[in-house]
Amino acid sequence: MMYLAVKLKFLANIYFASIYLTNIYLTNIYLTNIYLTNIYLANIYLANIYFIWRDIMFDHIHFMDFDFSIPTTFEELEKNKERLRPIYQNMDDYSAYLKNDRKNVTFTLEGESRTIGLVPISSFAESHLLYIQVFSLMNTGKHFNTRRKNYSSYLLLYTYEGNGILEYENKKYEMSKGMGFFIDCRKPHSYYTNGAAWFHSVLHFNGKTASWFYKRFNESGSVNFYCPIDGFYQSELEQLLKGYQEISPYREFEVSMKLESLLMKLLKDKNKDSQAIPDYIKYLQRYMESNFTNQLTLDGLSSFAGVSKFHLSREFKKYTGYSPNAYLIELRISKAKLLLSNSSLPIYKISELSGFMNEVNFINLFKSRTGATPTAYRGGTGPGK
């Protein structure tokens, strides 16, 4: 009897253990199904968001659509160049372009991409204006990534939905809805999807003042920014792209102005908390603009402002972009240009009336700032004319 009782107890334990394990198994299946369902629904949500943005926003912009449902590496794309041929139809040597880029970039494309076709860029625009290189609207999957360096371009990336990560200058930036970044692509960097999907736009551009905007934007040591979806970034971006696709003899100038407007708003928005210019800087700036023809010194200016000359030099440059001495020189050079263009006064007299101590000093400074001597500038042969 005791043996039978032990055996029954043993069988009962096995039975209850089986029920327990079965419940765990079924619970795991249930939770797994919930998890997979949530991922599925999240992907549907992001896909729907993408289609909404695609159909409602950028509604006047013409795009070329590319599908990378299967993750595609640089090497695989290089073997199938014709896939992106429509974008680069204006390039003289597409093969050489890919070969050159291969040294500096690796990527994996996954998802959907909408890209605007390129238009020719004149040598004048490359030398004097801001211009667009590439714009794409991308809904990327979890395998998407780009790693690049030594690319002569600046990049504005903006996030509409999902999450991404930027690695740049030994820092990691997390991107989410409404967040973006502004980087110099010559510096090593990488960005990639963080999670299931990342819906974002990329705007590559370059031009004469691009480096200035980047340096001012990055003065704080941070390259990211935030702007609500219904904020200025989207509206400025759409106006820029419309101008880019318009047929007009003034297209390059309009694009440059609109791109500059976008960059200036980003710069002002980022520095809005530090733009309260101290009164002494304002008064000093007005004083200099009214008295630059006099022999002003840093000691005299710091005395006028009521601060030390070291503090003045630092703060004046922070708020004006110039040191006090550089600002004085620019005021005097501007006065000299006006007199050279609208009078027949001799050079030594113009030097005196512009506030320079002597003619030799004036000529040297004028040439270093304008690239031409005062005489050449007056004759219309200098680069500043």
CA distances, 242 to each of 125, 137, 202, 262 (Å): 18, 15, 16, 14
Q: What is the pLDDT along the chain (385 residues), one digit of tens a residue?
A: 555 555 555 555 565 556 655 566 555 565 555 544 554 454 554 445 445 555 567 878 888 888 888 787 767 766 665 555 554 444 444 444 445 556 788 888 899 999 998 888 999 999 999 999 999 999 999 999 999 999 999 999 999 999 999 999 999 999 999 999 999 999 999 999 999 999 999 999 999 999 999 998 998 789 999 999 999 999 999 999 999 999 899 999 999 999 999 999 999 888 775 557 888 999 999 999 999 999 999 999 999 999 999 999 999 988 888 899 999 999 999 999 999 999 999 999 999 999 998 999 999 999 999 999 999 998 875 555 5
CA distances to 67, 135, 140, 240 from 160, in Å = 19, 15, 12, 18
CATH class for the region spanning 56-273: mainly beta
Q: Where are the domains of the chain?
A: 56-273, 279-379
Q: Do the domains spanning 56-273 and 279-379 agree at the CATH topology level?
A: no
Burial class (CB in 10 A: 0-12, 13-18, 19+), 221: exposed
3-class secondary structure per residue, the chain: CHHHHHHHHHHHHHHHHHHHHHHHHHHHHHHHHHHHHHHHHHHHHHHHHHHHHHHHCCCCCCCEEEEEEEEEEHHHHHHCHHHHCCCCCCCCCHHHHHHHHHCCEEEEEEEEEEECCCCCCCHHHHHHCEEEEEEEEEEEECCCEEEECCCCCEEEEEEEEEEEEEEECCEEEEECCCEEEEEECCCCEEEEEEEEEEEEEEEEEEECCHHHHHHHHHHHCCCEEECCCCCHHHHHHHHHHHHHHCCCCCHHHHHHHHHHHHHHHHHHHHCHHHCCCCHHHHHHHHHHHHHCCCCCCHHHHHHHHCCCHHHHHHHHHHHHCCCHHHHHHHHHHHHHHHHHHHCCCCHHHHHHHCCCCCHHHHHHHHHHHHCCCHHHHHHCCCCCC
Does residue 289 contact residue 310 with C-beta atoms inside 8 Å? no
Phi-psi region of 356 (alpha: psi -120 to 50; beta: other; left: phi over 0): beta
Q: How many Cβ atoms from other residues are within 10 Å of residue 2's Cβ? A: 6
- pLDDT tens for 186-243 read 999 999 999 999 999 999 999 999 999 999 899 878 999 999 999 999 999 999 999 9
Look at the domain 279-379 and name its fold: Arc Repressor Mutant, subunit A (1.10.10)
